[in-house]
Structure 1
Amino acid sequence: MSLAVLVFGAACGSDDDTPGPANTNADTDVLGPVNAASGEPVKIGYVSDGTTPVYDGSAQLEVADATVAYLNARHAGIGGRPIELVKCETQADPSKAAECAFQMISDGVVAVAVAESGVVDDVWRSLADANIPAMFYGSGNPDLLADRESTFVLGDPTYSVLQLPISLAAKLGVHKVTSVVIDVPAALHTAQDVAPKAFADAGLDYQLVTVPPGTADMTPQMQNIAEGDTGLVFVIGNDTFCISAFNGLRAVGYEGKISAIAQCVTDATRKGVPAETLDGMVVGTTVPTGGTDPSNVVYRAVIDGYGDGLDDADALVGRGTYVTLAGLLAPLAGMSGEISPQTVASSLHSMPETELPGTAGLRYRCNGKAYPENPAVCVRGGLSTTLDGDGQPTEFEVLGSTPIGD
């Protein structure tokens, strides 16, 4: 992302306003009974990129307000005390991200939630040095994932490119996965260095096909795939790359199963790939973005009841915010006694395995045992959805998730 130069005081600040009453169209049956917090507020930080030169994520901040208002009104905040949200926008600028972290420390927050951000690492370093507990929507930074003291991550770093195709191959009963991967270093490390052993350990044959970015016609590469025993074709790249891969598979008459990472399927993909190719494709995702799943119904009720005029597009942008904030705060609802960074971290480390709010049944536990080599990770597996003829998600299913033991 491009970097914006904005005044620090305009980027960071504390939201001291007491949330107003829920809107009258809230579904109270879904939201549960009123259980209002009272007493001295507890400060919780929230960091978002907000508005950047290339991306408007301002709705995330509004969803954060709605989430906290809901938890204060219906779940008695933290230990019965109201949550006071301290918000900061990074504008996707590394220096402002570091400033946000220092703002959280100086404001005396007891924990911080960081949803989708392009500058996660710059927020994390200072918070970790200060031992401020921080819940992240996701990260691939090995140093961040290795922190077992005060860092918590709600995304399985292996899911989208490893656990998804492995779990799907097992479900389909196939014995080989062919990965079509964009030829850039960020994608190739896992595909070349990590995937072969992971697939072998799962009893699967693995074939890697790398294609340079910008390749408009992938027919030659796809021809070689179609002529072999493919089993499952799994595509990793951006939407432009994936469109070429999908259309190449169609051109050579491939009729097997196709799967892909979520970044492959956008409105451009829906316009550029025939419906019959997208229909039935399995795509990985982090949150359910529609349908009647109970977690989606609750989320919509929170937005309708406590969001100040948030529309469907805003709600979609803010879904990761809801998951991250609710994922941080839900295990803290029953705290008693002193509420400090140390007691919050202890409560998160000792929480039982439970359903992660807003994720259609994905479970989490932050005891460092989900992936011992990455003790900050709280989740195993992720979600998948099968696309319909319009390239839209249908029902959501948890894949790659196993119980996280003691």
Structure 2
Amino acid sequence: MSRSMSRTLSMVTSVATAAVLILSVAACSESTSQESSSTTLAKSCEATALLDCARQSVLAPYTPDKPTVATGEPINLGMINQDNTVAGSFPELSLAVKAGIEFINKEMGGVKGRPLALEVCNTEFSAEGSTNCAQKFVQQKFPAVLGGIDVFGNGIDTLADNKIPYVGGIPVSSQSFSSPNSFQWSGGSQAAAVAFAWYATEELQAKKVSIVYGEFGSIAASAQMGKKVLEDKGVSVQMVPYPVMSTDLSPAINAAASSTPDAIFLMAADTGCKGGFDGIAALGIKVASFYVGACAAPGIISQVDATKTNGAYFNVEGPIMGDPPIPDNLLYSGVINKYGNGLDPVGAGTVTFRALMNLYAILNQIDGDITPAAITAALEATVDAPNFAGHPYTCNHKQFVGLPAVCSPQQILAQIDNRKLSQITDWIDVGTIYKG
């Protein structure tokens, strides 16, 4: 596989994980405490007190009084992920799930006494590999399959043909966003663009906006969604595409500035983030600039002078840690630190960990046999269900027109100053906004 393909896949992954990366960064830097009815919620969850943290989280209804080991008949779950390939390796997605399962089995008592068992299948970055993984789980009669990252999505089709739910992960393929058996807790870059459009019109009263976007799949689709919302509000929109692998965005940004916009959306990630910061600074452009949340990751922000990022807007998919701290995020960090075998809590593993914990709650709510039909019915019956480190979710396939698999597309916007993100909005209901 070519180096350019590898970089392209990395960029797509960054877009999809956007806000959750920022969520975990904030959780790890939290240093305040909160008094609760039973415990003091400190800045971190110690290895010996994970259940105390769990009692403050959305997992509270399923948390035992003391560490309890699950000993019953295992509930088998599959997971489709891409690992150990020249086109990109994402072991953190499965490692985070494994850590979560170990915590569930060793301390939470499993699902009504039954441990969870996980089998991870590597697509090896091929459509055939994706299908083969799904076929294996169909043959083994697994009741649900967790998502990692699967660019091709063919496996989701196979699972759909057999009515097996595909739960969470990083939604990149069209099937992950649209298949009736897919259930997602991220709105991707599409939801980000809609949130940007809402803020630019409602809060900044923008009349002209330029959208700079990489010519690639979901990124181009997100730019079109942002354009629709803006034009519905009577805003003049200039669309400026650029080659997706370009690191010098100055020509595109210069073209975007030619219309004297009130705001610029930079629908880029990975290497495109730095190019955006550098380009706007070099051209001396002084307008509101919006970036996907992945661009605020420490590894990217640290590459540019703080003055180039000051004032920039980013999307996130959960409240930024402050005072009081957020129990779900603290629990995540504590579990990864204890069971993650060295996995860095800051990263894309937050996405799959969230999906596992939401599925764990669903499994606990099922009376009777754990079957694909029972899991699907339980998910589709959710209405404002507690979402691990996210907005309450509803999986009725109606939360975002065109993205029926998304259960919680809501976004929050943050602004950066001197490398510190501050939350500037409450939840933005992008599904309702896009529907108009």
Say yes or no: TM over 0.5.
yes
What residue is the counterpart of 2:407 in the other structure? 378
- C-alpha distance after superposition, 1:24-69 (max 9, x if no partner): 4444321235364453221121222132225442233322122112
Whether the 8 Å CA contact 2:292–2:314 is kept in 1: the answer is yes
Alpha-carbon distance change, 380 to 24 in structure 1, aligned in 2, over 3 angstroms:
closer
1:330 and 2:364 matched: no
Deviation at 1:396, TM superposition (A): 8.7
TM-score by length of 2: 0.74
- C-alpha distance after superposition, 1:322-365 (max 9, x if no partner): 01222222222121112111111111111231232133xx2211
What residue is the counterpart of 1:277 in the other structure? 308
What residue is the counterpart of 2:92 in the other structure? 59
Whether the 8 Å CA contact 1:178–1:232 is kept in 2: the answer is yes
Alpha-carbon distance change, 219 to 157 in structure 1, aligned in 2, over 3 angstroms:
closer
Whether the 8 Å CA contact 1:303–1:315 is kept in 2: the answer is no
Distance, in Å, in 2 between the alignment partners of 1:337 and 1:217 is 56
Deviation at 1:264, TM superposition (A): 4.0
Alpha-carbon distance change, 269 to 314 in structure 1, aligned in 2, over 3 angstroms:
closer
Alpha-carbon distance change, 84 to 402 in structure 1, aligned in 2, over 3 angstroms:
same
The CA RMSD measured in Å over matched residues stands at 3.5
1:295 and 2:328 matched: yes
2:52 to 26, 29, 33: 29
Whether the 8 Å CA contact 1:78–1:335 is kept in 2: the answer is no
1:218 and 2:246 matched: no
Whether the 8 Å CA contact 2:357–2:388 is kept in 1: the answer is yes
TM-score by length of 1: 0.79
Alpha-carbon distance change, 119 to 188 in structure 1, aligned in 2, over 3 angstroms:
closer
Alpha-carbon distance change, 250 to 372 in structure 1, aligned in 2, over 3 angstroms:
closer
What residue is the counterpart of 2:157 in the other structure? 125
The one-letter amino acid of 1:368's match is: H
What residue is the counterpart of 2:182 in the other structure? 151
The one-letter amino acid of 2:384's match is: E
- C-alpha distance after superposition, 1:155-211 (max 9, x if no partner): 225644522212332563322352342452536743675443322224544332334
Whether the 8 Å CA contact 1:222–1:245 is kept in 2: the answer is no
Whether the 8 Å CA contact 1:231–1:256 is kept in 2: the answer is yes
Which SS does the other structure have where 2:399 is aligned?
coil
Which SS does the other structure have where 1:208 is aligned?
strand
Alpha-carbon distance change, 92 to 167 in structure 1, aligned in 2, over 3 angstroms:
same
What residue is the counterpart of 2:166 in the other structure? 134
Alpha-carbon distance change, 184 to 322 in structure 1, aligned in 2, over 3 angstroms:
same
- For structure 2, which runs of at least 5 residues remain unmatched after alignment? 7-44, 56-62
Whether the 8 Å CA contact 2:212–2:253 is kept in 1: the answer is no
Deviation at 1:285, TM superposition (A): 4.0
Distance, in Å, in 2 between the alignment partners of 1:317 and 1:51 is 16
What residue is the counterpart of 1:368 in the other structure? 397
The one-letter amino acid of 1:48's match is: N
What percent identity do the matched residue pairs reach? Answer: 21
Which runs of structure 2 are paired with 1:256-267 in the superposition (5 Å)? 256-265=287-296
The answer to which structure, 1 or 2, has the higher relative contact order (CA under 8 A, 6+ apart) is 2
1:167 to 191, 198, 208: 198
Whether the 8 Å CA contact 1:66–1:303 is kept in 2: the answer is yes
1:356 and 2:387 matched: yes
Whether the 8 Å CA contact 2:145–2:166 is kept in 1: the answer is yes
Deviation at 1:287, TM superposition (A): 6.4
Deviation at 1:152, TM superposition (A): 1.4
The one-letter amino acid of 2:64's match is: V
Alpha-carbon distance change, 120 to 42 in structure 1, aligned in 2, over 3 angstroms:
farther
Q: Which moved more, 1:175-184 or 1:286-295?
A: 286-295
Deviation at 1:296, TM superposition (A): 1.6
Whether the 8 Å CA contact 2:167–2:183 is kept in 1: the answer is yes
Alpha-carbon distance change, 285 to 366 in structure 1, aligned in 2, over 3 angstroms:
same
Deviation at 1:138, TM superposition (A): 4.1
Distance, in Å, in 2 between the alignment partners of 1:180 and 1:273 is 22
Whether the 8 Å CA contact 1:31–1:302 is kept in 2: the answer is no
What residue is the counterpart of 2:284 in the other structure? 253
Alpha-carbon distance change, 401 to 69 in structure 1, aligned in 2, over 3 angstroms:
farther
Which runs of structure 2 are paired with 1:199-238 in the superposition (5 Å)? 199-212=230-243, 214=246, 216=248, 218=250, 221-222=253-254, 225=257, 228=260, 230-238=261-269
What residue is the counterpart of 1:78 in the other structure? 111
- For structure 1, which runs of at least 5 residues remain unmatched after alignment? 5-21
What residue is the counterpart of 2:347 in the other structure? 316
What residue is the counterpart of 1:13 in the other structure? none
